Amino acid sequence: DIQMTQSPSSLSASVGDRVTITCRASQSISSYLNWYQQKPGNAPKLLIYTASSLQSGVPSRFSGSGSGTDFSLTINNLQPEDFATYYCQQSFGALFTFGPGTKVDIK
């Protein structure tokens, strides 16, 4: 199985900050990496697919980059509605796996 790790596991930030979350795969996954946002009590929401493509309807302050084993999600000008948990997910192997999540809360 392809294992996914994320760092940090949590972070505190203020409205207007720039935040970067990293995700690492246990082997190369090309660009087959997706990012999701999950708010308490809700299902995950797709933000970024194939590492850097913005899902329709997602604000442009969200961006993704990376390839191979190392990826990042950046949120520019953090907004109140962005406080949530973020998960990466690989779709390279037949068995899709998720990262453990990064919780972004208010400083």
Partner 1 sequence: QVQLQESGPGLVKPSQTLSLTCTVSGGSISRSGSYWSWIRQHPGKGLEWIGYIYYSGSTYYNPSLKSRITISADTSKNQFSLKLSSVTAADTAVYYCARSSSWYGGNFDYWGQGTLVTVSS
Tell me which residues touch partner 1 (CB under 8 A). Answer: 32, 34, 36, 42-46, 49-50, 55, 87, 89, 91-92, 94-101
Q: Which one, 59 or 77, has the nearer CB to partner 1? A: 59
* Nearest distance, CB of residue 107 and partner 1, angstroms: 22
Q: Which one, 16 or 40, has the nearer CB to partner 1? A: 40
Residue type for 56, please?
S
* Nearest distance, CB of residue 23 and partner 1, angstroms: 12
3-state secondary structure the chain: CCCEEEECCEEEECCCCCEEEEEEECCCCCCCEEEEEECCCCCCEEEEECCCEECCCCCCCEEEEEECCEEEEEECCCCHHHCCEEEEEECCCCCCEECCCEEEEEC
Q: Which one, 36 or 75, has the nearer CB to partner 1? A: 36
* Nearest distance, CB of residue 50 and partner 1, angstroms: 6
* Nearest distance, CB of residue 16 and partner 1, angstroms: 29
Tokens 């998960």 sit at which residue? 87
